[in-house]
Chain A
Amino acid sequence: MTAFHPINIALFAILVITALAIARIRQLFAAAMLSGLFSLACACIFVLHDAVDVAFTEAAVGAGMTTVLFLCTLALTDSREKSTPPRRSVPAALAALLTGAALIYASADLPKFAAADTPVQQHPLTERYLRDSATEIGIPNVVTSVLASYRGYDTLGETVVIFTAAIAVLMLLGRTAHAKTSDAVMSLHTRHRVLRVVTKLLVPFILVFALYVQFHGDYGPGGGFQAGVIFASGLILYGLVFGLEAARGVAPVRVLRRLVAAGVLIYGGVGVATLVAGGAFLDYDALDPGHPATGQHLGILLVELGVGITVAAAMLMLFLSFAGRRDAR
């Protein structure tokens, strides 16, 4: 792409302006919305830098999920912050400036941006991932190969982190009483008829799209993490428009709790299965001796499914915990 740099610089300008505005603005609802916009612009940069899978995730998680959680929190707490006194801002600014100067001084040792001969690109692992994975794993999306197979151990850890965080949030905010739908919610229902009809049309489409993302992750951008968040955001949209009660009817917390654990169990179970089959932990070649490519396909499919289930259930649980807190009070 010949026009890489002008586009890059324009997006950077948007990011810097947004970040400065976030630092300055004291209306926290506006700050949360701007942080969503920041994530969206950042996802554009990721696309520009060829990280399509990351852009996918950042858009769904950073711009969608995080913003919704911030808004839920603000609805539960104060939406304005007090002005920052100089005794706080001056030392902080000094520390940030010093750290920034040190970082920029250190950046002189970083390789040239986007060059083909950087240590990153010259590392033997690059060849392994970009050339040999086509025969070793047999799927076109290298990010999925690395995520689910080469670094499957690491991804298991990440899945457990999400599981743990969901459990911790449930311990802090969960166990809320089921409240009756009050008048304010009803007014949203009767007055926003267009919104209701369109949402009803869209939600099934979003859920099917999430399944497509889940199972198309081998061939294009997508996979369990992204699909899980998209699936959850479909149901969150449903809950936002039709009320929490309706969302709980579709996905009761009791079921979600089991699903969060089930996803991790599927992932770990695949590892145990490979051990039983005589391979190393999470070495999918052992799943189908003689046909490593088939084994890899099966292993990645199951592992991604586990990730998808855990992420979808955890995200929904987070949303229901935060949104349900208001009902309980």
Chain B
Amino acid sequence: MIASHYSYWVSMALMMIGLYVVMSHANLVKKLIGLNVFQVAVFMLYISLGKRADGTAPILDSAFAAYSHPLPHVLILTAIVVGVATTALGLALTVRIHEAYGTTDEDDALKRDSAQGEPR
């Protein structure tokens, strides 16, 4: 069980570290860094599902017979680039929040909101 599954478990542990950072930290940039860790861990889980012990990279060559599965690679390749696009959007929102509230801390921003009364 350990030898055949540890790869998945490490990915899952990394995911949970990412999840913990996203949930516990109030700083928005730190949250996004945690989200990034979570995201990369998911990528690793996908890629490890496509791996074949006797396989090689899925670039056809007459010298090799067994290849790892190319489909997870395709899905994750595009997901990585989409990931940076969404991270950039999150960061842009953070910059704007900082300009409006003078802080990137979620709690402080909410405190300021409630101090000024309920938003209309």
Chain A residues proximal to chain B, CB less than 8 Å? 4-5, 8-9, 12, 15-16, 19-20, 22-23, 28, 31-32, 35, 38-39, 42, 45-46, 49-54, 57-58, 61-62, 65-66, 69-70, 72-74, 76-78, 81-82, 84, 88-89, 91-93, 95-97, 99-100, 103-104, 107-108, 110-116, 118, 120-121, 125-126, 129-130, 133-134, 140-143, 145-147, 151, 154-155, 158, 161-162, 164-166, 168-169, 172-173, 219-221, 225, 229, 311, 314-315, 318, 321-322, 325
Contacts and interface: CB of A to CB of B under 8 A. Distances in A.
Given A28-B27, A221-B59, A161 B20 contact: no
A322 B91 contact: yes
A158 B13 CA distance: 28
Contacts of B110: none
Contact of A89 (B24, B73, B96): B24
A130 B84 contact: no
B51 A93 contact: no
A128 to B, nearest CB: 10
Interface string B38-79: 001001100111111111111111000011111111101110
A155 B71 CA distance: 13
Contacts of A5: 3
27 contacts: A12-B6, A23-B17, A28-B29, A46-B44, A50-B55, A50-B58, A57-B77, A66-B36, A66-B87, A70-B29, A73-B29, A73-B95, A76-B98, A78-B104, A96-B20, A100-B12, A103-B12, A103-B15, A108-B5, A120-B72, A125-B71, A140-B60, A146-B70, A219-B59, A315-B84, A318-B85, A325-B95
B96 A143 contact: no
B77 A143 contact: yes
Given A42-B44, A158-B78, A225-B77, A19 B12 contact: no
A294 B96 CA distance: 49
A23 B68 CA distance: 33
A50 B56 contact: yes
Contact of B12 (A49, A65, A107, A118): A107
B20 A166 contact: no
Chain A interface, DSSP helix/strand/loop, else mixed: helix
A87 to B, nearest CB: 10
Given A113-B4, A120-B50, A318-B88, A51 B73 contact: yes
- Chain B, interface size category, equals 35 or more
Nearest to A23: B21
A61 B61 CA distance: 28
A108 B94 CA distance: 39
Contacts of B105: 78, 81-82
Nearest to B9: A104
A42 to B, nearest CB: 5
Given A99-B16, A116-B52, A77 B59 contact: no
Given A58-B40, A77-B95, 7 more contacts: A22-B17, A22-B34, A77-B94, A107-B12, A114-B51, A143-B77, A147-B74
A113 B51 contact: yes
Contacts of A65: 84
Given A22-B37, A151-B74, A154-B78, A45 B44 contact: yes
Given A125-B71, A143-B74, A104 B85 contact: no
Nearest to B68: A50
Contacts of B1: 108
A147 B79 CA distance: 12
A22 B49 CA distance: 26
Contact of A28 (B23, B30, B44): B30
B81 A61 contact: yes
Contact of B13 (A16, A32, A91, A321): A16
Sorted nearest first, the 7 A-B pairs with minimum C-beta distance are A165-B85, A92-B24, A92-B23, A81-B27, A50-B68, A100-B16, A114-B53
Nearest to A166: B85
Nearest to B54: A116
Contacts of B74: 143, 146-147, 151
